[in-house]
């Protein structure tokens, strides 16, 4: 369904404008812009990972066009937590203006600073913690602790003359988290009593009934799997999941095993987390990979990346026997992670490979080795009832998640007309406690491919999908400008169409005849000749092969 694009009226003084730039209609590239009285605040700036219909794309960025010409008005970027879908696009934003201040917690800033270092950018940053209040031009920001699958996550309350907004970032409400840092419902209650005009909650698990299980419940499962493992244990998880890794370290200690961290991002992130005190590394439990060879197999746990079946990550390489650690009978592999939709085939390919090599594979389908980082419906209901927000704009989710979250809001008493189902680029104005949709911008996907940003377009991706499905046939000829006679070629090249090049022997005479007929009828124009070739070859592949490869005629005058 195409969206209807319309420009909002100019923003009046004292009105807060909210534009979700990314994260609505997708899980990823979260970014929201807030504007009042000529100043802009951004919350999060993440990337989206491509799916199978976007082949070859490395990353997808939010479309910065709503703020691109206003960068000097941006007072700062609040980063709610350190996950890629919330911080991953910061380097691309800072390429446009490198001195935009970044505001976030200690761990969040440490993670983005490490990433920016790779891009050779040193950011201006402002470290905040829960309870802090910062005035940024017309925005008063209050930071509130929330619990998520990475430590040190923050929600932010944004107070302006237009009203109070609560933007949760990603969160859940684990009541017994490993670091005792719970989502601060007292702060939510206080804000709610004072009046929240607009609430932007995480929608990821809004369609999941009930409550997310405790992270803490995973520890004993890991411990008992490791206790029974006759040989090596390999645990794969996300490289930023500090508490999951913490539980692996603790389970290793309980079983008198040493842990080797594997994979560049795992080593980097856990180094940061340990340095800052978020990961408590028991004395002597971590060892280098090269020291591990001196230990018996039943004294080792490898903590690795690749839980989503990424072909170049440690785990997939192990499954293909392309890694120095040769998986064999008796090894135990634990996928202590979610299975992100779309990755199923890749993950099962890795699992099949590991099992074939003799490993036992433990994953969330056969043991409780993962819990989500996002609030399920039951938790969101608590939030709505504590906050009693006037208006709700569900963010962070596909349409089905946003809709489910809106339904929860309505069921707790938020009037349906105050529940906004928006898309990326929807413009919402808040004034006097009333939130109104006032425009819809036309925002696109910005693809990163290699070193190019935004050069690959949807048209290129369409070409790629056709090339993938059908391959191509290119036909080159040079014709004499005067007579229209073929003087070089036809030279046919094809890829992805058929192994056997003899297949084109059948169409060659047809092409020559069609070109010579066209020349005899007075055709001299190269475009017209190209059309003749396209029609001839197209008809032939359709009738003879029932296929529709891309046909690329190249005719030049010589």
Q: Is residue 483 within the footprint of its own copies (CB under 8 A)?
A: no
Binding residues are: 56, 58, 81, 83, 85-86, 148, 170, 239-241, 370-374, 396, 449
Q: Is residue 481 within the footprint of its own copies (CB under 8 A)?
A: no
Residues between 22 and 81 with contacts to its own copies, criterion CB under 8 A: 25, 51-53, 55-56
Q: Is residue 546 within the footprint of its own copies (CB under 8 A)?
A: yes
Residues between 245 and 304 with contacts to its own copies, criterion CB under 8 A: none
Residue with tokens 């135990």: 332
Among 121, 357, 512, 528, binds its own copies (CB under 8 A): 357
Q: What does the per-residue mask of binding to its own copies show for 388-407, with x meaning CB under 8 A?
A: ----------xxx--x----
- Using the Cα atoms of residue 413, residue 385, residue 149 and residue 63 in order, give the sign of their dihedral: positive
Rounded to a whole number of angstroms, the minimum distance from the CB of residue 471 to its own copies is 6
Q: Is residue 547 within the footprint of its own copies (CB under 8 A)?
A: yes
Phi then psi for 244, rounded to 5 degrees? -65, -45
User: Does 44 participate in catalysis according to the annotation?
Assistant: no
Q: Is residue 355 within the footprint of its own copies (CB under 8 A)?
A: yes
Q: Which two tokens stand for residue 505?
A: 């022997």
Closer CB to its own copies, 272 or 359, in the complex: 359
Binding residues for substrate are: 239-241, 370-374
Q: Is residue 531 within the footprint of its own copies (CB under 8 A)?
A: no
How many residues are listed for the chain in this entry? 558
Q: Is residue 424 within the footprint of its own copies (CB under 8 A)?
A: no
Angle between helices 242-254 and 264-275 (to 10 degrees): 90
Q: Is residue 464 within the footprint of its own copies (CB under 8 A)?
A: yes
Angle between helices 399-411 and 377-387 (to 10 degrees): 50
Q: Is residue 342 within the footprint of its own copies (CB under 8 A)?
A: yes
Closer CB to its own copies, 166 or 456, in the complex: 456
Window of 90-98, 102-110, 295-303, 469-477 that interacts with its own copies by CB under 8 A: 469-477
Q: What does the per-residue mask of binding to its own copies show for 184-223, with x meaning CB under 8 A?
A: -----------------------x-x--------------
Rounded to a whole number of angstroms, the minimum distance from the CB of residue 493 to its own copies is 6
Residue 546 burial (10 A CB sphere; 0-12, 13-18, 19+):
exposed
Window of 240-248, 272-280, 434-442, 481-489 that interacts with its own copies by CB under 8 A: 481-489
Q: Is residue 545 within the footprint of its own copies (CB under 8 A)?
A: yes
Separation CA 47–CA 57 (nearest Å): 12
How many residues make contact with its own copies (CB under 8 A)?
72
- Using the Cα atoms of residue 370, residue 178, residue 278 and residue 27 in order, give the sign of their dihedral: positive
Rounded to a whole number of angstroms, the minimum distance from the CB of residue 516 to its own copies is 18
- In angstroms, the Cα distances linking 490 to 193, 295, 510, 512 are 78, 66, 11, 8
Window of 102-110, 226-234, 294-302, 497-505 that interacts with its own copies by CB under 8 A: 497-505
Rounded to a whole number of angstroms, the minimum distance from the CB of residue 301 to its own copies is 22
Single out the catalytic residue among 243, 323, 363, 374. Answer: 374
Rounded to a whole number of angstroms, the minimum distance from the CB of residue 355 to its own copies is 5
Q: Is residue 442 within the footprint of its own copies (CB under 8 A)?
A: no
Residues between 499 and 518 with contacts to its own copies, criterion CB under 8 A: 499-500, 503
Looking at 471-527, which runs of residues are DSSP E strands?
Answer: 472-479, 486-495
Residue with tokens 């008809």: 539
Instruction: Tell me: cis bond preceding 65? Omega within 30 of 0 counts.
Output: no
Rounded to a whole number of angstroms, the minimum distance from the CB of residue 403 to its own copies is 5
Q: Largest Cα–Cα distance in the chain?
A: 87
User: Does 407 participate in catalysis according to the annotation?
Assistant: no
Residue with tokens 């596909």: 398
Closer CB to its own copies, 491 or 517, in the complex: 491
Among 133, 194, 487, 520, binds its own copies (CB under 8 A): 487
First to last CA, the chain: 48
Rounded to a whole number of angstroms, the minimum distance from the CB of residue 461 to its own copies is 8
Helix (H) or strand (E) holding 244: helix 242-254
Closer CB to its own copies, 281 or 498, in the complex: 498
Residue with tokens 């230990």: 295
Residue 23 in contact with residue 437, Cβ under 8 Å?
A: no
DSSP secondary structure letters along 32-101: EEEEETTEEEEE----B---TTSTT--EEE---HHHHTTGGGEEEEE--SS-HHHHTTHHHHHHH-TT--
Instruction: Point out which residues pair with 31 in neighbouring strands.
Output: 22
Closer CB to its own copies, 129 or 548, in the complex: 548
Instruction: Point out which residues pair with 107 in neighbouring strands.
Output: none
Enzyme catalytic residues: 202, 374
């Amino acid at each position: 369904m195409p969206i209807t694009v319309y420009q909002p009226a100019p923003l009046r003084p004292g009105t807060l404008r909210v534009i979700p730039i990314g994260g609505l209609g997708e899980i990823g590239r979260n970014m929201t812009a807030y504007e009042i009285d000529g100043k802009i605040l951004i919350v999060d700036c993440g990337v989206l990972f491509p799916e199978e219909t976007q082949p070859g794309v490395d990353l997808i960025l939010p479309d910065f066009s709503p703020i691109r010409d206003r960068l000097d008005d941006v007072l700062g970027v609040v980063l709610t937590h350190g996950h890629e879908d919330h911080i991953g696009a910061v380097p691309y934003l800072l390429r446009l203006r490198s001195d935009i201040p970044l505001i976030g917690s200690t761990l969040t800033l440490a993670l983005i600073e490490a990433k920016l270092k790779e891009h050779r950018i040193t950011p201006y940053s402002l470290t905040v913690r829960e309870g802090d209040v910062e005035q940024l031009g017309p925005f008063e920001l209050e930071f509130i602790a929330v619990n998520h699958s990475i430590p040190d996550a923050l929600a932010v309350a944004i107070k302006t003359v237009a009203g109070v907004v609560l933007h949760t970032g990603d969160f859940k409400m684990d009541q017994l988290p490993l670091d005792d840092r719970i989502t601060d419902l007292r702060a939510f209650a206080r804000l709610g009593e004072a009046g929240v005009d607009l609430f932007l909650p995480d929608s990821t698990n809004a369609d999941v009934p009930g409550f997310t299980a405790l992270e803490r419940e995973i520890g004993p499962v890991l411990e008992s799997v490791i206790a029974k493992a006759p040989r090596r244990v390999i645990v794969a998880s996300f490289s930023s999941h500090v508490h999951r890794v913490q539980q692996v370290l603790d389970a290793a200690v309980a079983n008198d095993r040493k842990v080797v961290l594997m994979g560049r991002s795992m080593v980097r992130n856990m180094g940061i987390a340990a340095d800052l005190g978020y990961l408590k590394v028991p004395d002597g439990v971590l060892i280098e990979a090269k020291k591990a060879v001196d230990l018996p197999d039943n004294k080792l746990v490898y903590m690795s990346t690749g839980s989503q079946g990424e072909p170049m990550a440690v785990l997939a390489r192990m499954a293909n026997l392309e890694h120095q650690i040769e998986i064999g009978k008796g090894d135990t592999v634990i996928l202590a992670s979610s299975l992100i939709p779309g990755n199923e085939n890749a993950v099962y390919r890795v699992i099949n490979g590991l099992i074939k090599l003799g490993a036992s594979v433990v994953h969330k389908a056969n043991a409780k080795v993962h819990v989500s980082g996002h609030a399920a419906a039951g938790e969101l209901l608590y939030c709505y009832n504590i906050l009693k927000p006037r208006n709700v704009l569900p963010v962070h989710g596909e349409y089905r998640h946003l809709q489910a979250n809106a339904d929860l809001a309505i069921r707790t008493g938020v009037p349906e007309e105050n529940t906004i189902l928006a898309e990326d680029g929807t413009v919402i104005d808040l004034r006097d406690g009333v939130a109104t949709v006032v425009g819809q911008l036309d925002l696109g996907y910005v693809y990163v491919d290699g070193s190019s940003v935004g050069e690959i377009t949807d048209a290129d991706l369409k070409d790629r999908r056709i090339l993938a499905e059908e391959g191509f046939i290119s036909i080159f000829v040079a014709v004499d400008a005067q007579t229209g006679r073929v003087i070089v070629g036809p030279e046919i090249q094809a890829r992805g169409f058929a192994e056997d090049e003899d297949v084109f022997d059948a169409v060659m005479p047809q092409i020559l005849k069609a070109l010579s007929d066209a020349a005899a009828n007075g055709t001299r124009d190269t475009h017209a000749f190209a059309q003749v070739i396209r029609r001839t070859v197209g008809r032939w592949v359709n009738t003879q092969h029932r296929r529709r490869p891309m046909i690329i005629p190249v005719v030049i005058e010589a």
